[in-house]
Every structure is written in structure tokens, then in C-alpha cells.
């Protein structure tokens, strides 16, 4: 225990003192907030576009918006108007209708942003609609009566009763959860990979192994990685909470999208995923010579989690599809797939237990693999081990 | 006096290209309080043997005994070790690394600090506050040596301790090691530079292709393998002297030569034959070097 404490303290201190650790943790939320802030600023400071309307179009009564300002065109020919146009200005013409299709021509000095183009399209459609309703003698109220779309509210029935859920919150939560779990698991795995490689690259492993066992060294690194991963997760959650609060949105709908027990199961799968990938990445570090010279095993390890993230996001639309069910039980993908299924449908307890059991078995297998490779490959310097070499090492 | 007994140590590795025998039935007795050279070419098994002694690798068969009982893990922890592949955490300060490793060795933080201060003075190393990457190779090697020497271990196992050192630092290191041995420690150092063993080691183990080819006191081995050769320098030209038929001459100059004498004729008897005819400026028995003994052993095996 004493030795474990010494290793743990050192691992945590070194990472916390490393500025790159903080860059990794803070860059994503700061980037999101920063980019969002810059976009908001650009939006706020963007001047409106003035569109000149000739006399015949004034009857459309196009309403000015924050971005589009409609004013009467001065008396001038089309050519003169074109020549006088400045930036952030345009003028609108209407060519004769072709059947039911009305065609408008907009001339500007610079391309109109697609958002504004769509807004203008909508305004023209509404104005044209009003014009045509007047022509056929139908009042706007009767038109609204005919065309107002119905409202649909969705509810998910749980075993305990009816629950009112926001479909958008659930859908958003599912995506967010997948991304969050993916990044956390990758982060934990990367930390332990770098930690193992640090000692191998700096030729320290042999000296360390004279005083502590490979199992003690590995366990110390794992615990440190777990601690730091939860620090990272906590900071990201705090940023997310703060961001939602600043945007005037509460996080409660997101939290309520899953029941308390589902959050508990999600935490179990997160922990299991971190442990499994931490052991596998430790094995990858022991069998590699450097980050740039990852062994065959290390290179292969990157794919299951990435593929599971892609597949899980795609198959999420069908939570009961055999592929989705398989992914939620296969240990390398279940840490992402099963929590996502929680957001989409009620999962039977035996399924969750089975998935966790399989994950648990895999964790033990990963631990065995990591300990074996750690002990045997840690002293193999200057070598990037092939699959054959790894197999021989495991066989002893 | 035998202290450590190696009893039939064998070790094989399974590699992608097939099994490799690193050590085969190595049996030897290591005396206490001596400088023991573990000699052999690259790939002969020296590092494997050191790792087995330190408990980093388990032997496939055989045992290591110390003073009549199997070498225990607790006793191993008192040994000082300096591996061949050695390094430091580049960004960590040298003294922090020393403290970390000493605490792993069993020291408390305070005891570690005290030990570091002692060795900083002894090794003339006031730069221990610097990060490892700011230290020269010689300085880094001193840090690693401090790790091995800290706590005055009874048994020092150093794998290629002089590799990469300039002559000044190598001499300093040699002096410190001799002091430790004089204080009662036993030193086992491995090297592939056999000429080093000649002036440094009291006892040698010669390993070749995983097998122990030779073991014994350096002086005794030289006597055992001597070839009855002498270096001689005379005032009279060599070819003018009445050499007996038992003598074979290999002249370097007209006055200096290496002579090989058959075992029936002693150096004293030869001198008595020559002195009436010339002054002898120089006469010394030419004992074989460890390298010569090793090559002879390996080629006749």
C-alpha cells in the first residue's frame, strides 16, 4: 500500500504540473465557448443588408427584419441602380410569372449569405401567399385555419408509469453522452499509455522493477489515470453546466431524460470502459517503443472504440436492432452502446447485468494481458512488437 | 570466502524467431568483499544473469543462495543496482527523482533527503536541483550511481557502469567503487571490455553464449594460463647472446624482445645464463591478459 501511494502521488503530481494536461482538459470547453462567443459576436455586429424595392414591389409589404431592411428604391433605371449599389445593399426585381411560379431577381455587390437568402425566400413566400389569397378572395384567417400544422407531444412509458419526456432533450442527451463517454475513455487510455511509455522511453522500467512488482506499478498508474480522468470529467461537466446556465438553459431536462438508476448503470459502464481500455492501453504501451512507434497491438486498439462510436451513433435510431443489441453486449463497444440504449428505450435488468458481466470478464482478461506484457515486454527496448512477438511473449 | 552461490542457473527466452538460451547451467561462487568482473561479449548473458540476481527475471531452473540459504526478496531489496539501460525522467529534478526512487526502496521522505545531501557532497554534485535533461551524461550517470550506492548496500550490481563515461568521470567512479569495496561491500560489475577487468577486478566470471567458461581469482587465472613468456631488454644485441634451445625469441628491436621459455627452464635459470654476457635492463614475466585467457578458453571449448 505504501509503495502504491508513492507511485500514485508521483503520477498525479507529474500530470497536474504538466501544462499539456491542462491544455487537453480546458481546450475543448474553452474552444466550444470561445467559438460560440465569437460566432455570437460576429452575429451581433453584422450590419443589416438594405434591399431596395421598386414601386411595384412595395405592395408586397415585405417586413424588415434584423438582417434584412427593405426600403423604397430611388427613382432610377435598373442600370443606374446597379451602378449605384454599395456593399451590404441590393435591389429586388420581379420578372413575369411563369405559370404558378413567381420569379424574383436580387442584385447585390457581394454574395448574400445562405441564411439571409433563405430568410428572404421565406419572406417572399409569405408575401406572395398573402397576395394570392387576396386575389382569390380567401382571408388570411381562413388560410391559417386550413394550413396550421398539428402539435405532437411524445411520451415514453416506463414500467412505473407514464413519463413525460422532451424528445429533443433525450436525443440531445444520447449524442452528448456518446461523445462524452468516448472522449473520457480515450483520454484515460491515452494517459496510461503515455505514462507507461514514459518509463520505457526513458529507460526507467528496469530500475523501477527492482523495487516494485509490475502489478504494483501498473495498479498505481491505473488508479492515477482514474483519478485524473474523473477530474477531467468533472471540469467538463462543470463547463457544460456553466455554458447552459449562461445560455439561459437549465440542465434539468437533460438530467431528467434518464432515471437515477440509469445514471447509476451509465456510471458503471463508464468505469468499466475506462478500466478495460486502461489495461489494454497499458499493454499497448508495454509492447511499444514510443508513441510514434506503437506496436501492432497499440495500433489495432484505436479502432474498436472509434468504430463503436460511429456504429453506436448510427444504430442508435434502432435500439432493439440485433446489431445495436450486439454492440451493447460486446465488451469493447458496450461502454458506449449500452448507455446510449438507456436514453432510447427501457433495457431489461438481465441485459444490463449480462453486459456488465461480459465487461467484467474482459476487464480481468485485459488485466492479465497487461500484467503479462508489462512484465515481459517492458524491458524490450528499441522494439516495436509484432503480433507474433506479442503472442510468444504471452505464451512465455 | 564464498558469499553468493549460483547453482545451475538457466534461462531461455521464446522469441518470434525461436527459443533463445540466454543462460545454461551457470554455477559459480562469488566471494564477499571483492570486485568481481562479469565478463563476456555482447549477448553472452551477462545482463540476464544480473537481472536474475536482482529478481527482475525469474530463472527457469537453478537457484541463487546467499550464506547457506536461498536469496530472499528482502535481502535483494538491500542490493544496489545500476542497469545497463538506464535513464531518468527528463523533466523531473534530479533530487526529486532520487527522493522518489529512494522512497520506493523503503526510505521515508526525510531519510531520503538526508541520504541525497550526503551523496551530493560526496559526489561533488551541487546541481541536483536541476531537471535531468539539463544535466550532462556524466552528471546523469552520477545520479544513477547515487541510486545504486545509497544506503551503502552490501552488494552492488552494476551493468556496464563505465559505458559512455569520459576518462575523468570514469576515474572518479572507479575511486568511489573501490572505496565502497574497501568498506566491506561486494561489487559485481559487468563489462564487455575485458581489458578493464585486468586492472580492476579481483575475481572474474567469463560468460560466453550463456555458459560460464571461466571463474576464479584474476591473479590465479593468470598464473594458471601463463605461457612462460618474458619481456627482456639487454644492453648487448639479442642475436649476440647464447640463447638456449628452450627459448623462442620474438624481437621488438635489436635489444628488446618477448621470449617464450619452455616449462623446464625457469626465469631465474635463464637470467643466470645471460648475465655473464650482458646487462639486463629489463626482465619481467609476461602474464596473459584476461582477454587472452578468454579468447584461448573460447577457442578451445
CA-nearest residue of chain B to A210? Answer: B56
What is the tens place of the pLDDT at every residue in B66-102?
A: 988 999 988 998 899 998 887 899 889 999 999 999 9
> How many Å lie between the alpha carbon of A389 and the closest alpha carbon of chain B?
5
- C-alpha cell at position A142: 381562413
d(CA B263, CA A185): 78
CA distances from B149 to B101, B122, B135, B156 (A): 12, 11, 19, 8
DSSP character string of B219-256:
HHHHHHT---EEEEEESS-GGGS---TTEEEEESSSSE
A211/B14 Cβ within 8 A: no
Place of cell 635459470: B269
The answer to whether B104 contacts A208, with C-beta atoms less than 8 Å apart, is: yes
Considering Cα of A71, then A75, then A78, then A82, what sign does the dihedral take? Answer: negative
Cβ of A210 and B55 within 8 Å? yes
pLDDT of A319: 72
Identify the burial level of B32 via C-beta atoms within 10 angstroms of its C-beta, where 0-12 means exposed, 13-18 middle and 19 or more buried. Answer: middle
Closest CA to A253 of A125, A361, A167, A367: A167
pLDDT 10s digits, A93-132: 888 888 888 899 999 988 888 888 999 999 999 898 888 8
Please answer yes or no on whether A379 and B85 come within 8 Å at the CB atom.
yes
Query: Is the Cβ pair A386, B16 closer than 8 Å?
Result: yes
Of B54, B83, B88, the CB nearest to A202: B88
Q: What is the mean pLDDT of residues B51-56?
A: 90
Nearest-Cα distance to chain B for A208, in Å, is 8
Cβ of A210 within 8 Å of Cβ of B86? The answer is no
Q: Is A4 part of the contact surface with chain B (CB cutoff 8 Å)?
A: no
Q: Within an 8 Å CB–CB cutoff, is residue B11 touching chain A?
A: no
Q: ipTM value, please give it.
A: 0.77
pLDDT at B18 over 80: no
Instruction: Name the grid cell of B178.
Output: 573501490
A389 touches chain B (CB under 8 A): yes
Distances from the Cα of A252 to the Cα of A173, A232, A255, B37, angstroms:
11, 22, 5, 72
In this predicted model, which residue has the larger pLDDT, A179 or B161?
A: B161
Tell me which chain B residues have a C-beta less than 8 angstroms from the C-beta of A212: 104
Counting every residue written for chain B, the total comes to 301
Q: Find chain B residues with C-beta within 8 A of A379's C-beta.
A: 51, 56, 85
Give the pairing type, strands A155-158 and A161-164.
Answer: antiparallel
The pLDDT value recorded for residue A57 is: 87
- Tally of CB atoms within 10 A around B272: 10
Is A58 within 8 Å of chain B by CB? no
The secondary structure element, H or E, covering residue A71 is strand A68-72
| Per-residue confidence band for A381, with pLDDT thresholds at 50, 70 and 90 | low
Cell numbers of B36, please?
Answer: 568481481
How many angstroms separate the most distant Cα atoms in chain B? 75
Q: Is the pLDDT of residue A251 over 80?
A: no
Its pTM stands at 0.72
Counting every residue written for chain A, the total comes to 396
Based on its alpha-carbon atoms, the radius of gyration of chain B, rounded to whole angstroms, reads: 24
Is A211 touching B (CB cutoff 8 A)?
yes
Alpha helices in B106-152 (DSSP H): 109-122, 137-149
* Contact: B83, A202; criterion CB under 8 Å: no
Among A113-122, A146-155, B142-151, where is mean pLDDT lowest? Answer: A146-155
Angle, alpha carbons A369-A373-A376 (nearest 5°): 145
Which residues of A fall within a CB distance of 8 Å from B158? none
Mean pLDDT in residue range A83-102: 86
Q: Pick from A210, A386, A389 the residue to mutate for testing the B interface (most B CBs within 10 Å).
A: A210
Residue range B189-193: mean pLDDT, rounded: 86
Amino acid at each position: 500500500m505504501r509503495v502504491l501511494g508513492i507511485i500514485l502521488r508521483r503520477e498525479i503530481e507529474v500530470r497536474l504540473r504538466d501544462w499539456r494536461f491542462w491544455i487537453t482538459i480546458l481546450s475543448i470547453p474553452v474552444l466550444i465557448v470561445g467559438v460560440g462567443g465569437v460566432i455570437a459576436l460576429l452575429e451581433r455586429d453584422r450590419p443589416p443588408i438594405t434591399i431596395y424595392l421598386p414601386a411595384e414591389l412595395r405592395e408586397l409589404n415585405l417586413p424588415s427584419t434584423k438582417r434584412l431592411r427593405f426600403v423604397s428604391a430611388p427613382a432610377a433605371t435598373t442600370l443606374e441602380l446597379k451602378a449605384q449599389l454599395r456593399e451590404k445593399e441590393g435591389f429586388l426585381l420581379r420578372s413575369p410569372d411563369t405559370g404558378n411560379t413567381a420569379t424574383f431577381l436580387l442584385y447585390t455587390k457581394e454574395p448574400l449569405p445562405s441564411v439571409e437568402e433563405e430568410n428572404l425566400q421565406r419572406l417572399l413566400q409569405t408575401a406572395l401567399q398573402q397576395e394570392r389569397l387576396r386575389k382569390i378572395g380567401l382571408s388570411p384567417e381562413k388560410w391559417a385555419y386550413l394550413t396550421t400544422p398539428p402539435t405532437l407531444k411524445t411520451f415514453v412509458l416506463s414500467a412505473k408509469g407514464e413519463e413525460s419526456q422532451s424528445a429533443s432533450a433525450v436525443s440531445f442527451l444520447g449524442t452528448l453522452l456518446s461523445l462524452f463517454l468516448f472522449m473520457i475513455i480515450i483520454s484515460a487510455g491515452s494517459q496510461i499509455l503515455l505514462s507507461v511509455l514514459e518509463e520505457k522511453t526513458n529507460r526507467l522500467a528496469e530500475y523501477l522493477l527492482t523495487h516494485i512488482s509490475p502489478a504494483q506499478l501498473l495498479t498505481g498508474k491505473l488508479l492515477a489515470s482514474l483519478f485524473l480522468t474523473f477530474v477531467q470529467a468533472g471540469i467538463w461537466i462543470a463547463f457544460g453546466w456553466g455554458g447552459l446556465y449562461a445560455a439561459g438553459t437549465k440542465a434539468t431536462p437533460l438530467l431528467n431524460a434518464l432515471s437515477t438508476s440509469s445514471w447509476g448503470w451509465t456510471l458503471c459502464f463508464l468505469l468499466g470502459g475506462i478500466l478495460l481500455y486502461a489495461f489494454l492501453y497499458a499493454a499497448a504501451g508495454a509492447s511499444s517503443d514510443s508513441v510514434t512507434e506503437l506496436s501492432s497491438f497499440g495500433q489495432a486498439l484505436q479502432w474498436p472504440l472509434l468504430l463503436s462510436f460511429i456504429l453506436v451513433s448510427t444504430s442508435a435510431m434502432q435500439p432493439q436492432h440485433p446489431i445495436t443489441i450486439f454492440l451493447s453486449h460486446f465488451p469493447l463497444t458496450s461502454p458506449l452502446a449500452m448507455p446510449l440504449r438507456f436514453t432510447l428505450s427501457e433495457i431489461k435488468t438481465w441485459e444490463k447485468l449480462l453486459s456488465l458481466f461480459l465487461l467484467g470478464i474482459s476487464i480481468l482478461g485485459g488485466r492479465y494481458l497487461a500484467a503479462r506484457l508489462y512484465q515481459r515486454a517492458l524491458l524490450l527496448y528499441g522494439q516495436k512488437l509484432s503480433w507474433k512477438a506479442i503472442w510468444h511473449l504471452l505464451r512465455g | 570466502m564464498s558469499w553468493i552461490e549460483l547453482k545451475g542457473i538457466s534461462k531461455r527466452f521464446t522469441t518470434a524467431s525461436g527459443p533463445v538460451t540466454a543462460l545454461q547451467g551457470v554455477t559459480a561462487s562469488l566471494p564477499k568483499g571483492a570486485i568481481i568482473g562479469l565478463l563476456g561479449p555482447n549477448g553472452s548473458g551477462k545482463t540476464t544473469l544480473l537481472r536474475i540476481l536482482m529478481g527482475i527475471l525469474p530463472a527457469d531452473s537453478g537457484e541463487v543462495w546467499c550464506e547457506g540459504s536461498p536469496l530472499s526478496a528482502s535481502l535483494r531489496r538491500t542490493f544496489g543496482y545500476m542497469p545497463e539501460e538506464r535513464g531518468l525522467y527528463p523533466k523531473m529534478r534530479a533530487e526529486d527523482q532520487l527522493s522518489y526512487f529512494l522512497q520506493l526502496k523503503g526510505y521515508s521522505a526525510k531519510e531520503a533527503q538526508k541520504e541525497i545531501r550526503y551523496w551530493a557532497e560526496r559526489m561533488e554534485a551541487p546541481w541536483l536541483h536541476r531537471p535531468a535533461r539539463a544535466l550532462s551524461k556524466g552528471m546523469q550517470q552520477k545520479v544513477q550511481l547515487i541510486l545504486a550506492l545509497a544506503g551503502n548496500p552490501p552488494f552492488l550490481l552494476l551493468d556496464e557502469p563505465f559505458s559512455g563515461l569520459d576518462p575523468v568521470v570514469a576515474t572518479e567512479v572507479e575511486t568511489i567503487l573501490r572505496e565502497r569495496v574497501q568498506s566491506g561491500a561486494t561489487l559485481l560489475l559487468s563489462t564487455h571490455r575485458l581489458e578493464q577487468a585486468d586492472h580492476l577486478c579481483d575475481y572474474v566470471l567469463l560468460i560466453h553464449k550463456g555458459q560460464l567458461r571461466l571463474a576464479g581469482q584474476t591473479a590465479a587465472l593468470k598464473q594458471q594460463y601463463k605461457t612462460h613468456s618474458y619481456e627482456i631488454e639487454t644492453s648487448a644485441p639479442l642475436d649476440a647472446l647464447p640463447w638456449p634451445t628452450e627459448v623462442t625469441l620474438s624481437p621488438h628491436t635489436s635489444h628488446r624482445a618477448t621470449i617464450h621459455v619452455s616449462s623446464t627452464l625457469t626465469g631465474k635459470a635463464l637470467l643466470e645464463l645471460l648475465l655473464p654476457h650482458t646487462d639486463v635492463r629489463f626482465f619481467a614475466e609476461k602474464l596473459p591478459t584476461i582477454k587472452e585467457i578468454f579468447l584461448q578458453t573460447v577457442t578451445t571449448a
